[in-house]
Amino acid sequence: MNQRYTRKKSSKSALHNAADNSKYVELVRSGEDYFIRLEKLIDKAEKEIHLQTYIFESDETGNRIASCLKKAAERNVKVYILLDAYGSSSLSDNFIKDLRQSGIFFRFFSPLFTVNNFYLGRRMHHKVIVADAKIAMIGGINIANKYHGIKNDEPWLDYAIKLDCLAAKDLQKLCCDYFFKDGSSKKIKPVLHSAGKTFVGIRQNDWLKNKTEVCDAYTNSINQAKNEIVIVSSYFLPGRRLTNALISACKRKVKVTLILAGISDVPLIRNATSYLYSLFLKQNVLIYEWNNSVVHGKAAVVDDKWSTIGSFNLNDLSCYGSIEMNVEIHSQYFAELLRSDFQNVINQCNEATIDTIYKNTSFISRFVNYMAYRMVRAAILFLTFLPHIRFSKNFRH
């Protein structure tokens, strides 16, 4: 979407535009900010709620949200919950039975083994809730204590977007498709909806259904960047296409900044990502490590006018294996808001440089990182393409 933006505005105009944008599109951070909004969205629903997420745990946070959903069902709101069978495998039978007895429609996406299919890497990875096809939240935040934060532990660093615009209707159609398997998502084209002075689009990655919208949006925006790219990424292991796009941007003198995990819930991937540092640092990429908690965010800003937030990781598993959903936002106001949040994060990070790499790591640890990279790349390729093996012509999800 080609939109011209000007930086110089009167304070009155800037305030007006900010109010206009924030009415329809709101940045949401992990922690209490997200879960308060989630509760309010559920409590205000009148007809129908769709909740789809990768991880739902029966801890304090999970029970809190489950209670809200059960109360909604008691108000005769139709509540549909779709959870990934692998990501939410820790849920007990009693927890699920309680949801169903409360009148909630519950289903798991893609059990690992079925009569017709063997799915391993093709997981439902998106995190979406839609109320009445009018208001939605979409991002990378699962429902568990670690995304809320407990006691002295900060919540995992992550983001979501609250939408009050026509894009919520698209999200409900996509949710219906995955819950009821009705194929309606094939009819939804990747369009941009007007939301005040902002343009918003839902982008999906589901390679098995020939949808590569998130990956394409990232690649196109990086290729068109003129000034700056800032990316927050967990599990950062970009494939050749995205790596080449980032390196090409550097050669065009675009300032590229990566905010990555200093602490990871998957240490092997953390080691594998560290192996890539030298490649990007030699291209003058700025790399910052967040050590206050686990980085789980998947978000980016390009040239203070294009932004994206969602579930898509910059690796081949998200490109070709998992089902991912992101929001694409064309707005100077929102891009500057998100960029400002990124700067606050950067201010609390440690910068990685060529000097710090060789000063703080030994030859053995660098070799371990190399081996981790090779192992993780091989595992991702295995998980990415094995899921597309099916034991019959019937496609089920």
Query: What is the bridge-based pairing of β-strands 48-53 and 78-84?
Result: parallel
For the chain, what percent of residues have pLDDT higher than 90? 69
3 is a domain residue: no
pLDDT of the residue at 358: 76
Q: Which of 171, 179, 188 is nearest to 135 (CA)?
A: 171
Q: Is the dihedral angle over the CA atoms 266, 267, 268, 272 positive or is it negative?
A: positive
pLDDT digits (tens, 9 = 90+) for 305-332: 999 999 999 998 899 889 999 999 999 9
Q: Say whether pLDDT at 100 is over 80.
A: yes
Supply the mean pLDDT for the chain: 88
15 is a domain residue: no
Q: What percentage of the chain's residues is helix, strand, coil (to nearest 5)?
A: 40, 25, 30
Amino acid identity of residue 98, one-letter, is: D
200 is a domain residue: yes
Check: CB of residue 107 under 8 Å from CB of residue 100.
no
Residue 291 phi, psi dihedral angles, 5° rounding: -120, 5
Domain count, the chain: 1
pLDDT of the residue at 386: 59
Comparison of pLDDT for 37 and 382, the residue scoring more: 37
**Beta strand residue intervals within the chain, DSSP E:** 25-29, 48-53, 78-84, 105-109, 127-131, 135-139, 159-164, 193-195, 198-206, 211-212, 228-233, 255-261, 286-290, 298-302, 306-310, 324-330, 350-352
195 is a domain residue: yes
At which residue do the structure tokens 């998992």 appear?
Answer: 322
11-20, 312-321, 332-341: range with highest mean pLDDT: 332-341
Mean pLDDT, residues 20-34: 88
255 is a domain residue: yes
Q: What is the pTM of this model?
A: 0.88
The span from the CA of 205 to the CA of 333, in Å, is 26
CATH number at residue 163: 3.30.870.10
148 is in which domain, residue-wise? 22-388
Predicted confidence band at 391 (pLDDT cuts at 50, 70, 90)?
A: very low
41 is a domain residue: yes
pLDDT digits (tens, 9 = 90+) for 35-81: 999 999 999 999 999 999 999 999 999 999 999 999 999 999 999 99
Contacts for 85 with CB less than 8 Å, ≥ 6 apart: 108, 109, 110, 111, 112
394 is a domain residue: no
Mean pLDDT, residues 125-139: 97
Q: Which of 209, 175, 205, 204 is nearest to 83 (CA)?
A: 175
